[in-house]
Amino acid sequence: MFGASRFLWPAHNLALLVVIGAFFGQSAVGDYTYALAICTPFYFLVSFTFSYLFLVDTRRSKYRIELLFLRISSVLASMPLGAFALAFLPSAQGYAVIALWILKLGEILFEPIPIYVGTDTSREGRGRRLFICDVSRVLLAQALMWFCVLVVEGEMIALLLVMGLSNLVLSLWFLVSVPDWIGRGIRIRRVCATARRLFRFCLPMTLSAVLLALLISLPRLLSDSSLEEHERAIFGAAQVIGSGMAMLFNAMWLYELHKVQRSIQNNNLAGAAKINATLSLLFLAALSAGSLVVFAAEPVILSVLNIQAVHPVLFPALIFLLGFQHCVSVHRDLLKLTGQVWIEVKVLAVTLGIAALVYELSVTVIDSAWPTGVALFCLASALTQVLLSYLWTRRSLKNPRVP
């Protein structure tokens, strides 16, 4: 039940994409997914891997109220970030970013709940508790979504805004009521001490998450100005499906994580690398199979999403290319498991620079079409991550010291 509840919100997001396409058309799908590409890196920046503290403090069942204060105040302080989109984007896209950002802030508030419930071994029925929380969010969001499109018949931005505000309120209630917070009042000294501790623990993980989100979002952001309306919608649908494939890969990796950790504990990093190589091949096979299924069902999928079908291979090709980066992520995660989190940050930063440079050279110097630029970006990203991660892993093999 615990695992099943984790797929409810992604399933809701997929349903939201279908509703946007069916009721508002391909232009709305393009704007919505472009807003996703913009908001995702900021999501990880504002989130600051806050829930990581719940993992490192698994021996504790209560948390200081100053931590709650920091989470709520940081979310409130970041609410105006979405408004900056109006200064750089057309009004329709800018308002979509604002509405989606409010929806994302609710997700940030809810983010610590699954970690807390999962690590709170002092209570029984952890899976049932999380399932109730997730079902409540999804049912409320689904009810408001269908009410907006069938009864109110409003615009997409109004739909996202209503869902975002309701999710923000409900997630805030869960954050305040579910974890056990201790402390009678907010003290500045404790707030500063907690903030320093949060910064020390979570900074490298946050930078890694932000850089990875930029790697995933940058192909869309770089090529968006070159796309037609139907191409923006197809690219956006491929983004969402690629994210779903990434979740599947992550679940497969977590299932085998104990074997990787055992190899690391035995200082057998070669064995861990071998497991990751096998997983990468399995991911690649699953991605290829999924892309072929999409190729066969493309007319139906694009018809449901109200997207004009022009290039019959573009949609599955984009899914494969965008998902290809996730196939090699396990090699980079090995750095994190061996305590080399800052090395992972450096790997991602170098990868981001090289992939962006390859894209710019392909579209400016070679004057290639945007699909070629995206393909080269994803290929350069994957190869750079594998190469640099392999080099650092080899260095660890020569000096097998696992923190």
What is the C-alpha separation between 322 and 68, in angstroms, rounded? 36
Say whether pLDDT at 247 is over 70.
Answer: yes
Say whether pLDDT at 174 is over 60.
Answer: yes
Q: Answer yes or no: are the C-beta atoms of 273 and 331 closer than 8 Å.
A: yes
Instruction: Provide, rounded to the nearest whole percent, the portion of the chain with pLDDT above 70.
Output: 92
Structure tokens given for 333: 């995660």
Torsional sign, CA 164, 167, 171, 173:
positive
Tens of pLDDT along 295-331? 999 999 999 999 988 788 899 999 999 988 888 888 7
Say whether pLDDT at 339 is over 80.
Answer: no
Minimum mean pLDDT range among 153-157, 185-189, 277-281, 399-403: 399-403
Angle at 36 between CA 30 and CA 42, to 5 degrees: 150
Q: What is the pLDDT of residue 31?
A: 94
Torsional sign, CA 48, 53, 56, 58:
negative
Model confidence at 24, in pLDDT bands (50, 70, 90)?
very high
Q: What is the pLDDT of residue 331?
A: 78
Q: What is the pLDDT of residue 335?
A: 79
Q: What is the pLDDT of residue 230?
A: 92
What is the C-alpha separation between 286 and 388, in angstroms, rounded? 25
Report domain extents, the chain. Answer: 1-186, 202-403
Least Cα distance to 179 among 127, 111, 131 occurs for: 111
Say whether pLDDT at 210 is over 70.
Answer: yes
Say whether pLDDT at 4 is over 50.
Answer: yes
- Give whichever of 128-132, 221-225, 393-397 has the largest mean pLDDT: 221-225
User: What's the whole-number average pLDDT of the chain?
Assistant: 86
Q: Answer yes or no: are the C-beta atoms of 137 and 169 closer than 8 Å.
A: no
Q: What is the pLDDT of residue 179?
A: 87
Minimum mean pLDDT range among 7-11, 19-23, 109-113, 231-235: 7-11
What is the C-alpha separation between 32 and 96, in angstroms, rounded? 6
Section 150-173 average pLDDT:
94
Q: What is the pLDDT of residue 402?
A: 43
What is the C-alpha separation between 164 and 106, in angstroms, rounded? 7
Say whether pLDDT at 131 is over 60.
Answer: yes
Q: What is the pLDDT of residue 56?
A: 60
Model confidence at 358, in pLDDT bands (50, 70, 90)?
very high
Say whether pLDDT at 256 is over 70.
Answer: yes
Section 93-118 average pLDDT:
90
Please give the residue that has the higher pLDDT: either 391 or 220.
Answer: 220
Q: What is the pLDDT of residue 2?
A: 57
Please tell me what DSSP assigns to residue 6. T
